[in-house]
Structure 1
């Protein structure tokens, strides 16, 4: 018996575990319309109507993004299908369409992206698949990379890797400092394209040119970039990237993406093995199977999915993300970034007047503005009372501007925040 991964669960030779239908395209006759597709026309910003009533002035999309009305409707439609509502009987989640939308968003090829559980999972799978610990590789990272990745590289250092940390200067990573750190023999450079700490954006193309000149590969955490600023993996030349979907992709927790450039995929030793990575499967164990020397013959897909896919993804999240990625593609990250810029410019101008010290460089083009503030969580009481939501950390706070925010939101938040 020979089956493809697509038909795995329909085959008599497969173990029944659930959701192979996730690769089936939604039928045109399903619901009254395709609730997953996303809008067909760009919206006018600020998109207040698209996100419905909020009881707070929400400037915290960099922590997690609110659901849009459309994404919520997509989730409701999926729940109707799973509840066996006959009006939605033929509605199926199109897993391939979701991957294709993300690939288009970052200018990747379809075979270069796969689903993962989170940004951190993607980064760990890449590090493991490259065998960096076993080769005791020289690794360069920086102090504005995701703080949750610090233990990963400290553990690699304990295992014998030569890990170099480039420190920031005035809220930015200096390209000359990166050049000094990426010496001959460096194998891997890990960074956040946009820093969760303060919104600093690397010149990723320049870093990749430095790294590639020394034979090093580059990984970029793009969780604070994809969806809110233009990201072009081909133009930058980055080798690997990963992101979750609950921030600027307007999805939810538990589903993200990994990117691996086609011409470096052969360098990855498959870190985990699961049936979703298979391109074909032929069993020799079950009734009417042809005999074989092994329990099964199989091949892996020649793609990022063949390297990183393991098992099922949440179909409810895929339904919601299908809509949200459609929203982002229709509106365009360039328009989204242009909408945010005057709002972040005002924050950068007004916060110092209130006595706060900026962590974010003035010329930073990303939709986040951060300030140093000792014991920043002490601000929570006044912000909560004033119904303003921003990100508060131990000794810093951060504003994140999205498509539904306007100048009145900035004015109100600054008024509630008050003087330092």
Structure 2
């Protein structure tokens, strides 16, 4: 059963009333419950000042617990962060690769996955080759050796929407005592993730995409036995075991992921993030993925019937919520779609990306396909 057939979740998103919003992988639309949570926080802050701290602290604890549940982790393995890049940088700092070591990424990755390693000139960055929008495990296997410190991937790539086999990558990495670092920006909240079963060591994720939260909030998972791999790259009073102890002569760090916290939480952001996580938690990742899988398949088949080249892998195990097509003069084509109420994304040359989300229904897909056909015909490309 598709989500909208048994849940009022679509009613949470006003943007769905008159548009087909296909940009959740860029920035998700704001759900009504998320907006209400922000309003409640601000209203309490206005009326009672520091009383808003209680809401922020509750959102901090409950948000970590819900994210841990989503990825099958322990709440003590979760820290809050401002964005994915921050989490990836923390992971790189904890791993602290030695001179002469290497890190393996792939040609489809996001720049934030590479920058923490490129800043270390003593570390070689190796790129697994991509072919037809996907990267085979064998490409990683050929590059990983006993000097590999980490394998760093986007679970789902932002361009073609290729989904990596995390368990396969973890096995390759761990055979050489390397760590698996995962950017889950395009997968958490779309496909089921089990970090323990897959063997993930570090996972970083924002809330403003498929978790339906705000900009400037996110979560970092660090496997429990790796939390003390090295000193936290950033510390503050919230990193301490007794944060309200006002001890300026000594410091004892938390044993769990709270050691990676820094200072005062982004209160409004965490309150909004919690509201978004509750939407995802209520539906569950398996149901969300089945919904996304079915509608994504409908969209891909329809686009191919229009004669468009779909760049996203056809195998369900190698995709998530992103569907990307190759289009001539993509920026102009996408502009024409936007004028007709189809809000797709144009981020890479010659490509249009559509992000199938939990608030979509079959009629949205049919409207998208009809509009693609209309724009293509008007441009003489159909």
**TM exceeds 0.5?**
yes
- The separation in 1 between residues aligned to 2:80 and 2:169, in whole angstroms, is 26
What is residue 64 of structure 2 aligned with on the other side?
99
Is residue 2:167 matched to residue 1:183? no
Note the alpha carbon deviations across 1:263-317, whole angstroms, 9 max, x for none. 1222233111211111126556xxxxxxxxxx422211011220x2112222111
Contact 2:113–2:154 under 8 Å retained in 1? no
Unaligned runs of 5+ in 1: 1-41, 285-294
What is residue 382 of structure 1 aligned with on the other side?
336
More helix by share: 2
Note the alpha carbon deviations across 1:170-212, whole angstroms, 9 max, x for none. 2111011111111222111100111111111111011101110
Contact 2:92–2:116 under 8 Å retained in 1? no
What is residue 357 of structure 2 aligned with on the other side?
402
For residue 242 of structure 1, give the secondary structure of its aligned residue in structure 2.
Answer: strand
Contact 2:103–2:150 under 8 Å retained in 1? yes
Contact 1:119–1:256 under 8 Å retained in 2? yes
- The separation in 1 between residues aligned to 2:211 and 2:330, in whole angstroms, is 27
What is residue 6 of structure 1 aligned with on the other side?
none
- The separation in 2 between residues aligned to 1:123 and 1:135, in whole angstroms, is 20
**Using a 3 Å threshold, how does the CA distance of structure 1 residues 52 and 215 change in structure 2: closer, same or farther?**
same
For residue 60 of structure 1, give the secondary structure of its aligned residue in structure 2.
Answer: coil
**Using a 3 Å threshold, how does the CA distance of structure 1 residues 299 and 201 change in structure 2: closer, same or farther?**
same
Is residue 2:304 matched to residue 1:304? no
For residue 280 of structure 2, give the secondary structure of its aligned residue in structure 1.
Answer: helix
- The separation in 2 between residues aligned to 1:389 and 1:238, in whole angstroms, is 34
Is residue 2:27 matched to residue 1:64? yes
For residue 392 of structure 1, give the secondary structure of its aligned residue in structure 2.
Answer: coil
- The separation in 2 between residues aligned to 1:358 and 1:154, in whole angstroms, is 32
Aligned CA-pair RMSD: 2.2
Structure 1 length-normalised TM = 0.82
Q: Aligned-pair distance for 1:365?
A: 4.0
For residue 279 of structure 1, give the secondary structure of its aligned residue in structure 2.
Answer: coil
Q: Aligned-pair distance for 1:44?
A: 2.3
- The separation in 2 between residues aligned to 1:315 and 1:411, in whole angstroms, is 40
Q: Aligned-pair distance for 1:47?
A: 3.0
Structure 2 length-normalised TM = 0.89
**Using a 3 Å threshold, how does the CA distance of structure 1 residues 89 and 175 change in structure 2: closer, same or farther?**
closer
Is residue 2:76 matched to residue 1:123? no
Contact 1:125–1:271 under 8 Å retained in 2? yes
For these two proteins, the number of residue pairs brought into alignment is 364
Is residue 2:335 matched to residue 1:371? no
- The separation in 1 between residues aligned to 2:175 and 2:62, in whole angstroms, is 36
- The separation in 2 between residues aligned to 1:76 and 1:149, in whole angstroms, is 34
1:161 to 123, 130, 140: 123
Larger radius of gyration: 1
What is residue 27 of structure 1 aligned with on the other side?
none
